[in-house]
Chains A and B, each alone.
Chain A
């Protein structure tokens, strides 16, 4: 299964009586990095979970190219997620974690891919160390490589810059741009507006679960976000 766009069509999601998302509609295309902005509780993480096919919308639909949003193994094979949590086993080494996920994705030549991923994460010399001995930044770099190990078409990131130093932040931005040039779709929920300013192609702002208009140009991303919020 392959797709070249991700579309949210009137997506709403409720938790009991509370609506986390209300009629959200927008589209991300291949070769595009889209920022998902909004205050805490605006619905960004819920939208990321829906895009990852982990949550189903209460109403509306998500389309991956021409495909409807049923969580099939073929769809999950094409999605990579970097969430709030790392999805890594602290007792296992970096190499064992990546190998485990590589095998779950039925990747050919897992060993070589894992070595390459460890190199990109600058963890080649720590590959056999348990993840619980890593710093937050090292874990975050490993998490990114875990999410990219199977060459996903769609990469979803939820606050990926949290806890990263400048070098790791630059490396992450470089990886996102690389994925973009390869035709990937990147949706990144973040509060680090200065970091993604100039990197993302456009931004979608959520407020109380709804998409609000944001000026397309003029001023920095933070200024435009402030205008959208006012």
Chain B
């Protein structure tokens, strides 16, 4: 089977399941919006947001809601052992990994479409001053986070304490991506926009993405096989 076709078949199935249940997108979105609202009560005083808070809040919301989405997507595969069904199919295992990753990315992008304007509104953050760079930071940052998260979620799917272990494993490894995302976004939001710095952080996330995706493709078969 062509590799790209297998990726799309898996992604399409995940999107169809999500379209039917709307479970992951609603819970993730609800959680992300709740996080933003709670933070807005802490970091906005008399209608003015604390300087420099918005980038951190944005990436914390992405990381926390992403963790929730990863857990739910793989819980669904565990409930009827459908991950086993996928692994028994002739599809290449890396294609299964990329198919799952693409499905999670699309879900997280759908959440970001809502929370980015909300952050801009609640924290008076000029997020759309450099939309292309912001899009680059969000896309690459989410990819890096989801790439590691997809691998670990698949690895932990049959583990009893997976809900505890996933963040314990995921956050320390994705900290570089989160820091680069926050610093890159902050460089875009400061009064004197620092484009070279934003590009430097973007390059760093791209580097992490290449490393994370390559390692995940390399190890996926081994971690899910047994």
Contacts and interface: CB of A to CB of B under 8 A. Distances in A.
A103 interface: yes
Interface in A79-122: 79, 81, 83-92, 96, 100-101, 103-106
Nearest to A130: B20
B87 to A, nearest CB: 7
B92 interface: yes
Contact of B90 (A89, A96, A100, A104): A104
A: contact size bracket: 20 to 34
A74 interface: yes
B209 to A, nearest CB: 27
A92 B87 CA distance: 19
Contacts, number: 74
A86 B87 CA distance: 14
Contact of A56 (B10, B81, B82, B225): B225
Of A71, A100, A105, most buried by chain B (CB within 10 Å of CB) is: A100
Contacts of A73: 1, 90-92
Nearest to A73: B90
Contacts of A89: 13, 17, 80, 82
Interface string A38-63: 00000000000000111110000000
A76 B9 CA distance: 17
B47 interface: no
Contact of B89 (A76, A84, A130): A76
A77 interface: yes
Contacts of A90: 79-80
Interface of A: 52-56, 71, 73-74, 76-77, 79, 81, 83-92, 96, 100-101, 103-106, 130, 146
